[in-house]
């Protein structure tokens, strides 16, 4: 392992620089022993620059993490998000002092309505799962206002794990729907499952298998016949922009992931934005405050008796909204081209890898596809090993072991950002790894060799997490000794 | 010992039904790192989720093989999740249920049927 000293370990080389500052402090505030590393500015700067160079991001290489849409984040987004009028705006200033920010939010809602075919949006939810939760709360309030007691939410077995979690938090019973052999919703099963107590179906379209749901209109009809609602998890909206609209297909509610589809650096916990769009009948239940446009300019409306209330402090992750707004304005009608390229890129890679890897759903895919390492398993090579070996080829690993319904899944989403050249590099790397798995499996099993940190013992780390710094690293802590 | 399509096993032990996950299940999940078990006294219907097993690959529900009330859970397993991998049918048991209807076990597969079921899944 190419390890790196911590700042504390580097301490000891006195610079004089730090000490000189100390003497400016009045006597009572200085301490003889201060447990901080004794380093000068340049040492600290070099330390952090070196650390940052160990990071892998979409700016350093291809990042085909399925379901996450790790597209390139245009630098102009950062420029607009950092404009002092936006970045420095206090959330409590009066509305008349924040007209630009309010206009941006109002117009962003309008654009999202146009892209999705929904009637109204809230920008408050701070991530995709938060958008799901908000949607389920809205649906619950809607049914309660109609005096209906609906207790069940249907979730296909290919769904994001957050779907059943969101339903559960709102005290709904989750009923799992098995996919048909083509990976779509089984209409017969759905007809049987939808009953008087069904509140909604949470459908991801395109699905997490990277497939367009062919029967979405029929699905909507089956639900609506029984008074249930169709909720679309729009995490994969990148495949549909400008081509087709969930609102036209019968969706009653949906959430978008602005940080994915409309570009914001994400991963490792955020920040995100998961706006929720609804049809007219559900609009009264949207969170407060709503952004409105009046004769006097833009403002917030709080008086909405049927609203589910606030779902985030202030107005959501405003910086992400600025980036999404910029992205939409920068591309305009070209958004459709992005979706087309994303789908084309995924199909190009899928076709190229069909012979080397098992592909459980070989039909044309949407913006991502799922492969499996079942062919490689006979030599003891698993999906985890292939993912780690890709790191040696300078490519971030795809999503692995998701969706759960595919054995040893590898989920690849190249996005529209990648050129043909980098797609070909990825294909070549995957083919080379398939060959290695045949001829030199130990190469794959030992990977990665070129990264700052090699094979970690993930199992031990999960079973006995030790997250505290120990001055004497050679000695096991009390925690490690007892395993508690 | 009887088996479910969701890869749980259940075995009669006097008045109680001991339940765990099968060797096939632990093998597909990989190294188990943590788990959530129900509280004693809680009642489950057949097919309801009664426990969660987390591995490096996935977080999976474990469903009640038969309806009944939880009489005992394998507390030691919480500190030793690796037992599910090492000994799925013995040290790795999850819960002991007080079944409300033993006849429900008739709907489950016997060893031979389950082995056939697994062989088909592996081909898939």
Average the pLDDT over B89-100 and give the result: 97
**Average of pLDDT values for A100-124?**
98
Mean pLDDT score, A164-172 = 95
Q: Tell whether B59 lies on the interface with A, counting CB pairs under 8 A.
A: yes
Q: How distant is the Cα of A212 from the closest Cα of chain B, in angstroms?
A: 23
Q: Which residue has the tokens 């090993």?
A: A385
CB contact under 8 A, B58 and A401: yes
A155 pLDDT tier (thresholds 50, 70, 90)? very high
The CATH topology of domain A75-333 is 3.40.640
Instruction: Report pTM.
Output: 0.86
pLDDT tens figures, A39-53: 888 989 999 999 988
Q: Is residue A342 classed as helix, strand or coil in its secondary structure?
A: helix
Q: Is the peptide bond before A133 cis (omega within 30 degrees of 0)?
A: no
**CA–CA gap between residue A267 and residue B109 (Å, rounded):** 43
Sorting pLDDT into bands at 50, 70 and 90, what band is A20?
Answer: very low
Give residue A481's pLDDT band: very low, low, confident or very high (50, 70, 90). Answer: very low
| E-assigned strand segments in A346-448 | 369-372, 399-400, 409-412
**Which residues are registered as beta bridge partners of B70?**
B97
Q: Does A459 touch chain B (CB under 8 A)?
A: yes
Q: Tell me, what's the pLDDT at A27?
A: 77
Q: What is the mean pLDDT of residues A416-432?
A: 98
- H/E segment holding residue B71: strand B68-73
- Share above pLDDT 70 across residues of chain A, in percent, rounded to a whole number: 92
CATH 3.90.1150.10 intervals, chain A: 338-461
Model pLDDT, residue A483: 43
Which residue of A375, A377, A401 is the best one to mutate when testing the B interface, meaning the one whose CB has the most B CBs within 10 A?
A401
Hey, CA dihedral for A333, A335, A341, A347, is it positive or negative?
negative
Q: What residues of B are in contact with residue A175 (Cβ under 8 Å)? A: none
Band of pLDDT at residue A22, cut at 50, 70 and 90:
low
Mean pLDDT, to the nearest integer, of A244-248? 97
Tell whether A457 is within 8 A of chain B (Cβ).
no
Tell me the DSSP string of A53-95. Answer: HT---TTTS---BTTT------HHHHHHHT-HHHHT--TTS-G
Range of weakest confidence among A182-191, A268-277, A437-446, B41-50: A268-277
Q: Are strands B32-36 and B16-21 parallel, antiparallel or unpaired?
A: unpaired
Pick A463's closest partner by Cβ from B57, B58, B81.
Answer: B81
Cβ distance A462 to B34 less than 8 Å, yes or no, reads: yes
- Over 50: is that where the pLDDT of A468 sits? yes
- pLDDT of A21 strictly over 60: no
Instruction: Check CB contact of B33 with chain A, cutoff 8 Å.
Output: yes
Q: Are strands A120-122 and A276-278 parallel, antiparallel or unpaired?
A: antiparallel
User: What burial letters (b/e) apply to A43-80, b meaning 16+ CB within 10 Å?
Assistant: beeebeeeeeeeebebeeebbbbbbbbbbebbeebeeb
Locate CATH 3.40.640.10 in chain A: 75-333
Per-residue confidence (pLDDT) for residue A404, from 0 to 100: 83
Alpha carbon separation from A247 to A72, A190, A259, B13, B61 (Å, rounded): 27, 21, 21, 55, 33
- Mean pLDDT for A81-99 is 95
Mean of the pLDDT values across residues A397-417?
A: 93
Mean pLDDT over B5-20 rounds to 96
Q: What is the largest CA-CA distance in chain B?
A: 40
| B5/A100 Cα distance (integer angstroms) | 58
Instruction: Give the model confidence (pLDDT) of B20-75 as tens digits.
Output: 999 999 998 999 999 999 999 999 999 999 999 999 888 889 999 999 999 999 99
Q: Which fold has domain B2-116?
A: OB fold (Dihydrolipoamide Acetyltransferase, E2P) (2.40.50)
Nearest to A458 among B56, B60, B124 (CB): B56
Mean pLDDT, chain A, whole residue set: 91
CATH number among 3.90.1150.10, 3.10.620.30, 3.40.50.2300, 3.40.190.10, domain A338-461: 3.90.1150.10
Mean pLDDT of A174-179: 92
Among B48, B55, B57, most A C-beta atoms within 10 A, so best to mutate, is B57
**Residue numbers in A near B60 (CB within 8 A):** 404
**B81 interfacial to chain A (CB closer than 8 Å):** yes
Predicted confidence at residue A181, as pLDDT, reads 87
Residue in B33, B58, B124 closest to A462 by CB: B33
Mean pLDDT value across residues A90-116: 97
Q: Looking up tokens 């794959």, which residue turns up?
A: A444
Q: Is B119 helix (H, G, I), strand (E, B) or coil?
A: helix
- Chain A residue numbers with beta carbons less than 8 Å from the beta carbon of B57 are 400-401
Tokens of A451: 């990264």
For residue range A282-306, list pLDDT tens digits in order.
999 999 999 999 999 999 999 999 9
The continuous run of DSSP H or E covering A4 comes out as none
Q: Check residues A181 and A81 and name the one with the higher pLDDT.
A: A81
Half-sphere CA count of B84, side-chain side, radius 13 A? 33
How sure is the predictor about A23, in pLDDT bands with cuts at 50, 70 and 90? low
Distance CA A299, CA A111 (A): 18
Distance of CA A43 to CAs A6, A11, A36, A52, Å?
12, 10, 14, 14
Q: What is the mean pLDDT of chain B?
A: 93
Residue spans of the domains in chain B: they are 2-116
């Amino acid at each position: 392992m190419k390890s790196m000293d911590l700042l504390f370990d580097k301490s000891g080389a006195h610079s004089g620089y730090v000490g000189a500052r100390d003497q400016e402090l009045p006597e009572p505030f200085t301490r003889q022993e201060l447990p901080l590393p004794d380093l000068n500015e340049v040492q600290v700067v070099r330390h952090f620059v070196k650390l940052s160079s160990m990071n892998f991001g979409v700016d350093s290489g291809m990042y085909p993490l399925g379901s996450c849409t790790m597209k390139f984040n245009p630098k102009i987004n950062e420029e607009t998000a950092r404009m002092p009028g936006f970045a420095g705006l206090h959330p409590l200033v009066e509305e008349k002092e924040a007209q630009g920010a309010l206009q941006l939010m109002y117009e962003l809602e309008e654009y999202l309505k146009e892209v999705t075919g929904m009637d109204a949006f809230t920008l408050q939810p701070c991530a995709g799962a938060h958008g799901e939760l908000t949607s389920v709360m809205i649906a619950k309030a809607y049914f309660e206002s109609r005096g209906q007691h609906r207790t069940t939410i249907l979730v296909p077995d290919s769904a994001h794990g957050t779907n059943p979690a969101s339903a559960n938090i709102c005290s709904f019973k989750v009923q799992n729907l098995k996919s048909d052999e083509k990976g779509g919703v089984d209409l017969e099963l759905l007809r049987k499952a939808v009953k008087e107590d069904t509140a909604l179906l949470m459908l991801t379209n395109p699905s997490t298998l990277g497939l367009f749901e062919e029967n979405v209109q029929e699905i909507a009809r089956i639900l609506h016949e029984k008074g249930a609602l169709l909720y679309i998890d729009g995490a994969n909206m990148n495949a549909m922009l400008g081509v087709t609209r969930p609102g036209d297909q019968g969706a009653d509610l949906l959430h978008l992931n602005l940080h994915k589809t409309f570009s914001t650096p994400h991963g490792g916990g955020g920040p995100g934005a998961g706006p929720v769009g609804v049809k007219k009948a559900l609009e009264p239940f949207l969170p407060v405050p709503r952004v409105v446009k009046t004769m006097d300019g833009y403002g917030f409306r709080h008086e909405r008796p049927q609203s589910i209330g606030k779902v985030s402090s202030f107005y959501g992750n405003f910086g992400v909204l600025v980036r999404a707004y910029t992205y939409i304005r920068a591309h305009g009608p070209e958004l459709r081209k992005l979706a087309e390229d994303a789908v084309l890129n995924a199909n190009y890679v899928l076709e190229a890898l069909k012979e080397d890897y098992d592909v459980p759903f070989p039909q044309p895919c949407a913006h991502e596809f799922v492969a499996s390492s079942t062919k490689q398993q006979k030599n003891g090579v698993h999906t985890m090993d292939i993912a780690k070996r890709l790191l040696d080829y300078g490519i971030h690993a795809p999503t692995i072991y998701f969706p759960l319904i595919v054995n040893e899944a590898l989920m690849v989403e190249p996005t529209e950002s990648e050129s043909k050249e980098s797609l070909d590099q990825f294909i070549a790397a995957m083919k080379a790894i398939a060959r290695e798995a045949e001829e030199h499996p130990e190469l794959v099993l030992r990977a990665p060799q070129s990264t700052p940190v090699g094979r970690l013992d993930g199992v031990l780390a999960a079973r006995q997490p030790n997250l505290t710094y120990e001055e004497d690293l050679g000695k096991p802590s009390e925690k490690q000794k007892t395993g508690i | 010992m009887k088996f479910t399509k969701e890869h749980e096993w259940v075995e009669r032990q006097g008045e109680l039904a001991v339940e765990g996950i099968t060797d096939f299940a632990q093998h597909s999940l990989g190294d188990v790192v943590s788990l959530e078990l129900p509280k004693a006294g809680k009642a489950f219907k057949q097919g309801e989720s009664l426990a969660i097993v987390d591995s490096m690959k996935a977080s999976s529900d474990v469903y009640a093989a038969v309806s009944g009330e939880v009489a005992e859970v394998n507390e030691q397993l919480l500190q030793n999740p690796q037992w599910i991998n090492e000994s799925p049918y013995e040290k790795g048991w999850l819960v002991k249920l007080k079944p409300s209807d033993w006849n429900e076990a008739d709907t489950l597969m016997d060893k031979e049927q389950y082995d056939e079921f697994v062989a088909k899944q592996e081909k898939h």
